[in-house]
Amino acid sequence: METSLEKQKKLAYAAQRYYLEDRKQSDIAQELGASRPLIGRMLSEARELGVVEITIHEPGARAARLLDRLRLSSSVRDGVAGGFRAQ
């Protein structure tokens, strides 16, 4: 089932208010004339449809990935990435 552009805009609006403006779901619900559980479902749907993407940057993970790529593409077999030893 295709999601209408208007629905995606509503999902994006609710997500922006919640994630970027730190508004409570209950405040967003009151503003939109909806229930708080509906706002929760809208936020979940926004993630499922790719309207919202959540990225977690684990400390040291990027450096370790880069070191792994370097090891695969060169003769480097050992190194230290972000304070972690890769072997």
pLDDT tens figures, 31-56 = 999 999 999 999 999 999 999 999 98
Q: What is the CATH number of domain 5-48?
A: 1.10.10
pLDDT, residue 56, reads 87
**Integer angstrom CA distances of residue 39 from 31, 48, 62, 73:** 11, 14, 34, 47
pTM of the model: 0.65
Helix 5-15 and helix 36-48, axial crossing angle in degrees, nearest 10: 110
Q: Do the beta carbons of residue 11 and residue 34 sit within 8 Å?
A: no
Per-residue pLDDT tens digits of the chain, which is 87 residues long? 457 999 999 999 999 999 999 999 999 999 999 999 999 999 999 999 999 999 988 888 888 888 888 878 876 666 555 555 545
Per domain, the residue ranges of the chain are: 5-48, 56-87
